[in-house]
Amino acid sequence: MDYKTFYGQLFKPIEDRIGPIDPNTIVAIVGFDCGGPLNFCTVGYGQTAFVTYVSCELAVRKEQQHGRSGPFELMVTCDDERWVRKVLTNIGQMSLESVLEHGHTVDVSAIIDSECKIKGVVLEEFARVRIKWRKHGILRCHGVTMPELEFAMKFGTNELLNEFKRTGVYPNTSIHRDSIELSR
C-alpha cells in the first residue's frame, strides 16, 4: 500500500471529527532519522489560533514500539508550532524505544523553556483504525502544567481530561495558560 492511501485511511477519523487535512505538509530540513523534527500534516493552519498538528511518519516505522492501539501517529491541537515540533518530536523519539498508550504521562520540562507553563503531556487515544490486517492508532497529546501532570499521575489521565472538558480547556493546548482549578 502506498503512503497516500495508508495515511488517507489513518487520518479519516481526523477529517471526520476535526476537519480536512491541509494540502501542505510541514517538512523538516533535517529529517527525523538524522535528528531533526517530525513532519506534520495540519488542520486549520493559518486559519485559526489553534491548529491541529499530526505527525505523518511514525506509524510506518518498524522500530516504533506500540501497544493496544498498534503503530500510531501523534496529534495535538495547539497555539504554538515551535512547542509542538519540539515536544512531539521528543515523544516520537521515545516511541522508538518505549511503548506509549492512552493514559500515559510524559514530563517534558527538561526540554521546554523555563518560562513556559506547559511542562508535561498526557496521552489520549483519539482513534484506532484497521488498515488491512493491522490496527493503527492516533494518540492525542494534551499539554499540561506540572500540577495537572501530578493530578493525572495521582487520579488518572481520564480524570484530568474530564476536568479539562469541565473547564473548557479540552482539546486545546495553549502554552501560555495557567493551571486549571482542579476539583479534587
Centroid of chain to Cα 10: 15
Q: What phi-psi label fits residue 156: left (phi over 0), alpha (psi between -120 and 50 degrees) or beta? A: left
Nine-digit cell string for 168: 473548557
Q: Is the dihedral of CA 9, 15, 17, 22 positive or negative?
A: positive
Q: For residue 137, what is the enclosing H or E element?
A: strand 134-144
Compute the mean pLDDT over every residue in the chain, rounded to the nearest whole number: 95
Q: State residue 176's pLDDT score.
A: 92
Q: State residue 124's pLDDT score.
A: 98
Question: Tens digit of pLDDT for each residue in 66-90?
Answer: 889 899 999 999 999 999 999 999 9
Q: State residue 23's pLDDT score.
A: 92
Centroid of chain to Cα 78: 10
Question: Tens digit of pLDDT for each residue in 164-179?
Answer: 999 999 999 999 999 9
Count Cβ atoms below 10 Å from residue 85 Cβ, excluding itself.
Answer: 18
**Residue 60 near residue 32, CB atoms below 8 Å:** no
Distance between start and end Cα atoms, the chain:
48
Q: State residue 51's pLDDT score.
A: 98
Q: State residue 147's pLDDT score.
A: 97
DSSP string for residues in 26-56: B--SS-GGGT-PPPEEEESTTTSSSEEEEES
**In 30-183, which residue ranges form alpha helices assigned H by DSSP?**
81-94, 146-155, 157-167
Question: Tens digit of pLDDT for each residue in 92-142?
Answer: 999 999 999 999 999 999 999 999 999 999 999 999 999 999 999 999 999
Integer CA distances (angstroms), 156 to 53, 86, 98, 130, 160, in order = 25, 25, 20, 27, 7
Integer CA distances (angstroms), 73 to 14, 46, 94, 148, in order = 12, 22, 13, 24
